[in-house]
């Protein structure tokens, strides 16, 4: 499969099968990736990585607002709305580039895929629902929520990014159009540490994930998956 990409880096980034756990250990404790400790700290590390960027911090109101909007839109499959938040963040806080280049790529890619006629009406219905007052959202049934697959851009049934895919359950969490696993965007799992976890764990059974990861990073060692 051809890896679609807006390659924002010309030099590959180095990543290894270990990470520094600075959540409990300010000096950083070296831990192995794709372990229990990795799984349970990915989310916090993805968020903390921003706070540790130069010029960025919880006290910086502009950044906090951009960050909250970007994360919310991204996690809710709103690629077109998330994109300007990420690009603005990159413009104002260039130090965040290693953390956000991948979200920008996914948003640009999905936004570039034209919608099919039935998808246009579904998207319009979804926007009308979002615009409704909160009470009406509770009262009016809407059927199953669909989101755009981050790999192919087609609308598919929304499946939470945490849904396991072990063995025979593989189809539980894949796009009904391109059949790739983990089709929904996730700020946590699409972060550098989230992708590295998946890479070293061997979470995907398609080559495209590993090819794209190795085109972004120079992983040492390479995954055995
Ligand atoms: Zn897909």
127-176 tens-digit pLDDT: 887 776 665 555 555 567 899 999 999 999 999 998 887 666 678 899 99
Q: What integer pLDDT is reported at residue 34 of this predicted model?
A: 95
Residue 8 located in a structural domain: no
pLDDT in tens, 80-106: 999 999 999 999 889 899 999 999 999
Residue 73 located in a structural domain: yes
Q: What integer pLDDT is reported at residue 1 of this predicted model?
A: 38
CA of 154 to the centre of ligand 1 (A): 6
- The highest-confidence range among 1-10, 57-66, 191-200, by mean pLDDT, is 191-200
CA of 134 to the centre of ligand 1 (A): 30
Angstrom distance (rounded) from CA 218 to CA 188: 21
Domain count, the chain: 1
Residue 225 located in a structural domain: no
Q: What integer pLDDT is reported at residue 152 of this predicted model?
A: 98
Q: What integer pLDDT is reported at residue 131 of this predicted model?
A: 74
CA of 151 to the centre of ligand 1 (A): 5
Residue 2 located in a structural domain: no
Residue 4 located in a structural domain: no
Long-range contacts (CB closer than 8 Å, 24 or more residues apart) made by 76-84: 76/147, 77/147, 77/148, 77/158, 77/184, 77/185, 79/106, 79/107, 79/110, 79/111, 79/148, 79/150, 79/185, 80/107, 80/111, 82/107, 83/107, 83/108, 83/111
Give percent helix, percent strand, percent coil of the chain, each to the nearest 5: 50, 10, 40
CA of 119 to the centre of ligand 1 (A): 14
Residue 183 located in a structural domain: yes
Range of the domain at 216: 13-220
CA of 176 to the centre of ligand 1 (A): 7
Q: What integer pLDDT is reported at residue 6 of this predicted model?
A: 46
Task: Indicate the DSSP class of residue 8.
Answer: -
CA of 174 to the centre of ligand 1 (A): 8
Residue 3 located in a structural domain: no
Whether pLDDT at 177 is above 90: yes
Q: What integer pLDDT is reported at residue 5 of this predicted model?
A: 43
Q: Which residues contact 123 (CB under 8 A, 6 or more apart)?
A: 115, 155
* Half-sphere exposure at residue 76, Cβ-oriented, CA atoms within 13 angstroms: 14
Q: What integer pLDDT is reported at residue 3 of this predicted model?
A: 41
CA of 175 to the centre of ligand 1 (A): 5
Q: Which of 171, 167, 151 is nearest to 159 (CA)?
A: 171
CA of 125 to the centre of ligand 1 (A): 21
Residue 6 located in a structural domain: no
pLDDT in tens, 22-74: 878 888 899 999 999 999 999 999 998 888 886 776 667 778 888 999 999 99
């Amino acid at each position: 499969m051809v890896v679609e990409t807006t390659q924002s880096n010309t030099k590959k980034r180095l990543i290894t099968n270990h990470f520094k756990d600075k959540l409990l250990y300010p000096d950083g404790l070296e831990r192995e990736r794709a372990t229990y400790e990795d799984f349970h700290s990915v989310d916090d590390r993805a968020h903390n990585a921003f706070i540790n960027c130069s010029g960025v911090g919880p006290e910086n109101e502009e950044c906090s607002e951009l960050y909250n909007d970007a994360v919310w839109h991204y996690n809710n499959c709103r690629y077109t709305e998330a994109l300007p938040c990420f690009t603005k963040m990159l413009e104002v806080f260039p130090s965040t580039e290693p953390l956000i280049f991948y979200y920008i790529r996914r948003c640009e890619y999905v936004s570039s895929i034209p919608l099919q006629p039935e998808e246009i009406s579904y998207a319009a219905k979804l926007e009308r629902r979002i615009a409704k007052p909160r009470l009406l959202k509770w009262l009016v049934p809407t059927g199953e929520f669909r989101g755009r697959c981050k790999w192919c851009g087609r609308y598919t049934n929304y499946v939470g990014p945490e849904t396991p895919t072990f063995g025979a359950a593989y189809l539980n969490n894949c796009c009904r159009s391109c059949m790739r696993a983990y089709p929904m965007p996730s700020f946590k799992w699409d972060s550098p540490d989230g992708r590295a976890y998946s890479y070293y764990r061997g979470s995907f059974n398609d080559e495209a994930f590993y090819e794209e990861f190795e085109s972004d990073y120079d992983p040492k060692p390479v995954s055995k998956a």
